[in-house]
Amino acid sequence: MKVLGRNILSLLGLALMVLAAVALILNLPNHVWDEAAGGLVLIIGPIAAWRYGWWLIHLVRANIYGRLVFPRLRRQADRLWQSGWRPPMVHFLMTTYRERPEITEGALASIFSECRSAGVRARIFVATGDPSDEKVIEEYCAQVSGFDAGADARLDTEVRIVRQNLPGKRVAMGLALRAMSRYGVGPEDLAVFLDGDSLIGEGVLEKCAPLLKLNQRLGAVTTDESAAVRGPAWMQSWCDMRFAQRRIAMQSHSLSRKVLTLTGRLSIFRGPIVVAEEFIGNVEADYLDHWLWGRFRFLSGDDKSTWFSLLERGYQMLYVPDATVLTMETIGDRSFERVQQNLMRWSGNMLRNGSRALALGPKRCGWFIWWCVADQRLSIWTSLSGLVMALALSMETDFRVLVAYLVWVFLTRTVVSLVLFLYAHRVSLAFPFLLYTSQVLASVIKVYLVFRISKQRWLNRGDQRAKAAASRMLVFQQGMAIFLTMLYVSTFMLLAFAATGVLTRS
């Protein structure tokens, strides 16, 4: 009842804001609208129609997958599970680094509970980066074993701790995968990758494992995700908004039997795939050859590396909307920096892996998925075009043109938010503002990273950074990156100004 009450109040507040925006539109001077119609509306209109048309295509595809395609897959999977089929062994790979003890314990408890409920044999490889994590794991396992011997008698589960000898999550994952290979992985076994701050939802194995059995071309599945944020309220709203967007995109992509990432929070693979030497090498030491920055290794983005490995080998991938994982996000006092660094990390991973995915070609990726990857690059500039054109017209004519543009932004993002509310299962007044701010900020970060693709930093994993040795070559590379960034930005602004007619006016 409290949640329902908060949603009703939020909807009322949203309605009042929309009415205020409409009143502002109706009271804007006519000559401002004449200027806007002559430049801003006619130019931004086609771009907006393209962007929102593309978004609408994703929404329609998501509903086709969620309401028509996936329910049929769910019925088939349920029949197989109810017939008594179980995977011979499930291998878990969990990574943790200086995590809060209660979160680590919660993650292990969720694995134990899921294995017991599913009735499967399991082996858990915990890749650790600090002795404090190992102490928590050992104490918790000893406590659980001693406290509930009857339950553990029905739980055929082993826990293996793998200490990494070099920094970085990728090294930890590589060592754990090699340990998994030494213990042996059968042809019908499954491997579950999850982060140490993730709690597996009830019935994940029941909902996901049969899908891999039924379709031998299916290499991996990834699940729905939500977050419980320990931090500012706006961060919880931001996470809820992003996951709502993710649910639409993932279901749309899955209609083509592909996804754009196998999230590290929780993904389930065919066991033999993850212990193949090529796959392990891609996880622990993935790299890119770049014309300006040469060869450099990837610091983060292991979920993109696993995705590319399967994409390159022609495997299908699916999103399972009714299987969930809950991420425990502890933000601390650096919330704004955390958002910026997350966007920079995600954007860098997208750019680094998008370029080589495009190189595979549409036949290998599938035409729709290939175009989705290409569109990620185009949207860098289209997300900024409206703001730049509005600023150009505002400086040329009247600042109220910018006011009109911002009102239009609010109304359009509010309409999008009404859809996102359904996928977020909540209503938040912050969605329209967070949506636009995230789009602009992400585009600015991507523009910066396009020619600095090797720049990497992982704030929430010990603040890891990609280091480059000082040299004359480095000075040249940085100078060239600055020059190319200025060239592209200047060209973009020149085209935007020209499109509005500002440059041709006397």
pLDDT digits (tens, 9 = 90+) for 288-324: 888 888 888 887 788 899 999 999 999 999 999 999 9
Q: What is the pLDDT of residue 287?
A: 85
Residue 24 binned pLDDT confidence (cut-offs 50, 70, 90): low
Q: What is the pLDDT of residue 153?
A: 45
Exposure string for 293-303, b = 16+ CB within 10 A, e = fewer: beebebbbbbb
Give percent of the chain with pLDDT exceeding 70.
Answer: 88
Q: Is the pLDDT of residue 36 over 70?
A: no
Q: State mean pLDDT over 453-457.
A: 77
Range with the poorest average pLDDT among 229-233, 242-246, 329-333: 329-333
Residue 489 binned pLDDT confidence (cut-offs 50, 70, 90): very high
pLDDT tens column, 159-207: 999 988 777 788 889 999 999 999 999 999 999 999 988 999 999 999 9
Among the listed residues 154, 147, 99, 94, the one whose alpha carbon sits nearest the alpha carbon of residue 125:
94
If phi > 0 it is left, if psi is from -120 to 50 it is alpha, else beta; for residue 244 that is alpha
Q: Is the pLDDT of residue 45 over 80?
A: no
Range with the poorest average pLDDT among 2-11, 190-199, 242-251: 2-11
**Element counts in the chain: helices (H) and strands (E):** 19, 12
Q: State mean pLDDT over 9-24.
A: 73
Residue 42 binned pLDDT confidence (cut-offs 50, 70, 90): low
Third-level CATH fold of 86-334 = Spore Coat Polysaccharide Biosynthesis Protein SpsA; Chain A (3.90.550)
Range with the poorest average pLDDT among 142-146, 215-219, 224-228: 142-146
Q: Where are the domains of the chain?
A: 2-59+374-500, 86-334
Q: Where is pLDDT greater, at 39 or 471?
A: 471
Range with the poorest average pLDDT among 189-203, 294-308, 353-367, 423-437: 294-308
Q: State mean pLDDT over 341-369.
A: 88
Among the listed residues 236, 228, 222, 264, the one whose alpha carbon sits nearest the alpha carbon of residue 106:
228
pLDDT tens column, 51-106: 899 999 999 999 999 999 999 999 999 999 999 999 999 999 999 888 898 999 99
Q: Is the pLDDT of residue 256 over 50?
A: yes
Instruction: Give the whole-angstrom CA distance, residue 342 versus residue 344.
Output: 5
Instruction: Give the whole-angstrom CA distance, residue 406 versus residue 387.
Output: 9
One-letter amino acid for residue 226 of the chain: S
Mean pLDDT for the chain?
Answer: 86
Phi, psi of 331 (to 5 degrees): -90, -45
Q: Is the pLDDT of residue 231 over 70?
A: yes
Q: State mean pLDDT over 114-123.
A: 93
Range with the poorest average pLDDT among 45-54, 59-68, 216-225, 268-277: 45-54
Q: What is the pLDDT of residue 255?
A: 97
